Amino acid sequence: MLFDLFSPDESSAVMSQFICSKFGLQTPINISFLGNVLWFGMLALTVKYFQTVIYIEKQYAYLEKIETALNSKFGGDIFTREGKSYLKNYPIFSCWSHVLYTIILPVILFAVLLSKIINEMYKFGAFSWFLVFNVFIFICIAISIILYLISFHLKKK
């Protein structure tokens, strides 16, 4: 996406050559269609990544409940691997990577994709179903990013 954003002509030529050589095609393919495929791939990767991260975060809450229940049965703080022990002396790099993955990268992703869709609007100029599809995918990704940020930073404790 970044390559296409900053060097659209070169990226179109490279993608077309790659696809033609990989599949043995004699005529170049429609680059607009390839752009749609890239947008759809970005949506699929983004949604799957956000789903996985949110699922993992849910598991930590579940494990903490299990630890609390086990500790109440056995007394003391015997079972604390994912709860108190994990959060105690939390490494500074872990704090940084948490901020990076849960705030900075989603914001950068949004900014890059917003720039890309604005660039495509200028490139297409007139109405195009390719552009409509890409705008729709961008909106879906933007909603996914917003919901991901909300689920991490405005969740109920």
Sequence-distant (≥ 6) Cβ neighbours of residue 66 within 8 angstroms: 79
Three-class HEC string of 126-150: CCCHHHHHHHHHHHHHHHHHHHHHH
Q: What pLDDT is attached to residue 78?
A: 72
Q: What are the percentages of helix, strand and coil residues in the chain, rounded to 5?
A: 80, 0, 20
Q: How far apart are CA 115 and CA 129, in angstroms?
A: 19
Helix axes 105-124, 129-153, angle to 10 degrees: 160
Write out residues in the chain with pLDDT < 70, as ranges: 80-89, 155-157
Sign of CA dihedral 49, 54, 58, 61: positive
Q: What pLDDT is attached to residue 152?
A: 79
Sequence-distant (≥ 6) Cβ neighbours of residue 71 within 8 angstroms: 77, 78, 79, 80
Domain boundaries, the chain: 30-153
Residues 85-96 as b or e (16 or more Cβ within 10 Å = b): eeeeeeeeeeee
